Amino acid sequence: MATNLPNRAQLTYDGSAVVLSNQTNTTLVDTNTMEMTKKAVDMSVAAGSDAVYVVRLENTGANSLTNISITDDLGMGALTYSENTAQFYINGSSVTGTAAASMGSVVFTTTETLEPGDNFIVVYAASVGADQTEPITNTVTANATAAAPVSAAVTATADETINITAVPNVSIFKSADKDTVTSGDTLTYTFTLMNTGSAAAENVKFTDVLPPEFTVQTVSYNTGGQDTPITPTDYTFQGGTLTIPSETGSLTLSVPAATSDGPGITTITVTGTIA
């Protein structure tokens, strides 16, 4: 760290008169030092999305620095480096760098030389797990080699903490119990609603435009392993379109959040006859 060296002279004359000079300030620069900061572009990040970080390394010493590397511990496995997102700059100008991701970390390097007063910036993204709920703190450690004395090692560290916003992430898959049918046959459709997010999906509205030959007979849903019939007052089937729930019914549909055991699942089963 640089140190200020203030200096002021004093002159006395005629026995009691005192005069002070102006003050000079000289900065004592450490021989081999660097300072690093790490900032998240957004301090609150949704689970399942990317956190974007800006790491700034400044050469605050008197000697040039080479062999620069910056290692991010990715929150001890809570984050995954997003490939090909890293961008590298020295004093605001784009430079060449590399990003090497491994289990639990990513290492950024450049072959550029960082002269005294220069800054090296890395901008990159890391993905947050879909089931992540707790804040994530990840630490970056910089290493470099100073020009003098020969091969002097210089290090610096910084960290950042982001908060995680729980959000649902729902997909739907439709299957039929028969590949072929004839008139008068019964056909059952099963819809699997899968939530890989860290929050439950609430107030779910389901619609399906069914074949004109299909007439709905029974509808049910299953959440948490329990089958529940859906009464005709809680769904509408008009013009071939099935809508769950109906606007006048009392049913509410949801899909549970994912857990360490797997995604949250709600299934909807529709059975009907073929004209």
Residue 31's pLDDT is what? 75
Residue 104's pLDDT is what? 87
Of 55-69, 149-163, 237-251, minimum mean pLDDT range: 149-163
pLDDT of residue 17 exceeding 80, the answer is yes
Q: Quick one: average pLDDT of 183-197? A: 95
pLDDT of residue 62 exceeding 80, the answer is yes
Residue 124's pLDDT is what? 98
Residue 224's pLDDT is what? 83
Q: What is the DSSP letter of 23?
A: P
Predicted structure pTM score:
0.66
Q: Please report, for the chain, the start and end positions of each structural domain, with discontinuous segments joined by +.
A: 3-165, 170-274
What is the C-alpha separation between 31 and 88, in angstroms, rounded?
25
pLDDT of residue 148 exceeding 80, the answer is no
pLDDT of residue 42 exceeding 90, the answer is yes
Which residue, 224, 173, 170, 174, is CA-closest to 196?
170
pLDDT of residue 149 exceeding 70, the answer is no
Please give the C-alpha separations between residue 104 and each of 77, 90, 240, in angstroms, as whole numbers: 5, 27, 52
Q: pLDDT tens across 46-61, in order?
A: 988 899 999 999 999 8
Domains 3-165 and 170-274 share a fold: yes
3-state SS string for 147-159: CCCCCEEEEEEEE
Residue 2's pLDDT is what? 58
Please give the C-alpha separations between residue 74 and each of 44, 99, 130, 159, in angstroms, as whole numbers: 16, 13, 15, 10
Q: Under the phi-then-psi rule, with left for phi > 0, alpha for psi from -120 to 50, and beta for the rest, what region is 60?
A: alpha
Please determine, looking at this structure, whether the domain spanning 3-165 carries the CATH number 2.60.40.740.
yes
In one-letter notation, the amino acid at residue 3 is T
Q: pLDDT tens across 85-117, in order?
A: 999 999 999 999 999 999 889 999 999 999 999
Confidence of residue 29 (pLDDT cuts 50, 70, 90): low
Q: Quick one: average pLDDT of 29-36? A: 82
Which residue, 127, 136, 126, is CA-closest to 160?
136
What is the C-alpha separation between 126 and 124, in angstroms, rounded?
7
Residue 30's pLDDT is what? 59
Of the CATH numbers 1.10.3210.10, 3.40.50.150, 3.20.20.80, 2.60.40.740, which one belongs to the domain with range 170-274? 2.60.40.740
Residue 166's pLDDT is what? 86
Instruction: Take residue 124 and report the two structure tokens written for it.
Output: 């990159």
Residue 141's pLDDT is what? 98
What is the C-alpha separation between 45 and 79, in angstroms, rounded?
12
Please measure the distance between the N-terminal and C-terminal CA atoms of the chain and give it in whole angstroms.
84
- Burial bucket for residue 96 (CB in 10 Å: 0-12, 13-18, 19+): exposed
Residue 96's pLDDT is what? 96
